[in-house]
Structure 1
């Protein structure tokens, strides 16, 4: 595909509707890829959506004003692990895959993390998502382990691959 990457920006209080839209889409269309359940997020009051977008690092990719991708960052809070952060909520709409949108999200997230003094990014990805694992490997993440039955989706145990990338 020859499309340019979508526009990526740090989400703020005015982006709650866009965040809600793309997060619920992700959980609805790719339920096995996330630890969260659609019903849990659908039930959140608007104040909680606002808190989640403003208390952490949430990036949204937009194309023609419409949210098409999402990526978040959760920083470790303890003093000895404050240099580490976990990449979360990663989703790119199927029509955006192969356009550079995932890379644009990850590059923006990496810049923000580095500027905040984070030295290492970590993530887990379902064993059922080989394309995602290949993407992260191309972006410099290395497999550091496996989490047996990291997720259980509708009774099915799904192993997760743990990956990390030094950025500092």
Structure 2
């Protein structure tokens, strides 16, 4: 685990992000509200724009990319001072080894550096492992829910939903402001 490096991608490294994002969508389609087939068709300009609006954090073992997470800096939420953590993925063989925790630690550091007061994380209510992991890191559930549709996996599952969890980056006490 000591050889694992976690870093923020630069904007011009969008091809690296594209590669790991598509890999994550192919390996774990049930974990995302997108499909690899759809995103593989995106023009380069879409990937460049994605890099401009969110910070992409990579975990690497040497040159091998083994995990990714994104921190949106407020464009997707109407809650003042909140950013959104999303797209967390760790290679299946590395799950449970601390890679996700290292990604989350870096995401929290990035959030603080850009002046966020809290991170919001939408997690599928039926994804017990993700809810437990986020809780162990310090995220707390809220009463906020939204429908979740995973394209290409459960198009007929109208009951799937996500819950919003929140992680304080300052002294908000874990309660999202302005909910």
TM-score for the superposition, normalised by structure 2: 0.83
Structure 1 position 122, deviation (Å): 0.6
- Provide the C-alpha distance between the structure 2 equivalents of 1:81 and 1:125, rounded to a whole number of angstroms: 18
- Report SS of the residue matched to 1:49: helix
Cα deviation for residue 101 of structure 1 reads 0.8
CA distance in 1, matches of 2:165, 2:53: 25
Which residue is 2:46 aligned to? 48
Greater shift, 147-156 or 94-103, is seen at 147-156
Question: Partner residue of 2:119?
Answer: 121
Pair 1:56–1:114, CA change in 2 (3 A): same
* Matching residue of 1:108: 106
| CA RMSD across the alignment | 2.0
For residues 99 and 18 of structure 1, what CA distance do their matches in structure 2 show?
23
In the TM superposition, structure 1's runs of 4+ consecutive aligned residues that sit over 6 Å from their partners are none
Gaps of 5+ in 1: none
Aligned-residue offset at 1:72: 0.5
Q: Distance between the aligned counterparts of 2:70 and 2:146, measured in 1? A: 24
Post-superposition Cα deviations, 1:71-90, rounded to whole Å, max 9, x if no partner, equal: 00112249x73400110111
Unpaired segments ≥5 residues, structure 2: 171-179
Q: Do the aligned partners of residues 77 and 21 (structure 1) sit closer, same or farther apart at CA in structure 2, a change above 3 Å counting? A: closer
